[in-house]
Structure 1
Amino acid sequence: MPLFRNIHHNPEFFPDPKHFDPSRFEVAPKSNTFIPFGNGVHACPGNELAKLEMLIVVHHLVTKFRCEVVGQQRGIEYGRFPVPQQGLPAKFWKEVFNHQI
């Protein structure tokens, strides 16, 4: 299994790779440098559905809920996938918006 994390954190392709910078994707990355769903004949067949589902979830989270991290972050544990060492406990609550038109 390729180590996609190593590809995605290569400073040759992504300057300052540990810095969260969504604007780096305003221009499409160089071919075969960002492959979260695999590539070629072994690419995930559900990648478009997964992307759509992620967009829907994120949309609802940011438009209807507020959140905060509870406790302290203790770092990242790197394995097949990077995960918070002690988990990432968070508190979510539904935000009531008062829109006037």
Structure 2
Amino acid sequence: MPLFRNIHHNPDFFVDPQKFDPSRFEDVVRPNTFMPFGNGVHACPGNELAKLEMHVMIHRLASQFRYEVVGSQGGIEYGPFPIPSHGLPARFWKQESTN
């Protein structure tokens, strides 16, 4: 398994790789420098479904709900994928309709 964190944080491929900057992917990136679903014969077979599900979920959350992070933000653990050290508790509530 390639170390995706090392690839995704390589300064040879990305300017200021430690900074969270999703706009860096607006332009086409070099092949094999961004592999959130693996690559080649080991690529995730459900990657297109996963991306569609994420788009639907984010759209629903952003358009119909309000949210806030609850508690402190205690850092990130890498093993091999980044996750919040103590989880990311959040509170969601239904957004009031403007109609």
> Could you say which TM-score interval applies, normalised by the shorter chain?
over 0.9
In the superposition, the TM-score normalised over structure 2's length comes to 0.92
Give the counterpart letter for 1:69 in structure 2.
V
Counterparts in 2 of 1:1-101, with a 5 A limit? 1-99=1-99
Post-superposition offset of 1:97: 3.0
Query: Secondary structure of 1:67's partner?
Result: strand
Give the number of aligned pairs. 99
Residues 2-32 of structure 1 show CA distances to partners (whole Å, capped at 9, x for unaligned) of 1111101112111112222121111011111
Structure 2 Cα separation of the partners of residues 22 and 77 of structure 1: 20
Aligned with 1:66: secondary structure?
Answer: strand
| Cα RMSD, aligned residues only | 1.1
- SS, match of residue 60 in structure 1: helix
In the TM superposition, residue 40 of structure 1 has moved relative to its aligned partner by: 0.9
Amino acid across the alignment from 1:29: V
The offset of 1:56, in angstroms, is: 0.5
What residue identity is the alignment partner of 1:73? Q
Q: Answer with 12-21 or 67-76: which moved more.
A: 12-21
Question: Structure 2, unaligned stretches of length 5 or more?
Answer: none
Superposition misfits of 4+ residues, deviation over 6 angstroms: none
Higher RCO by CA contacts (8 Å cutoff, separation 6 or greater):
2
Q: Tell me the percent identity.
A: 69
Q: Which amino acid aligns with 1:62?
A: A
Structure 1: tracts of 5 or more residues without a match: none
Alignment partner of 2:37: what SS? coil
TM (norm. structure 1) is 0.90
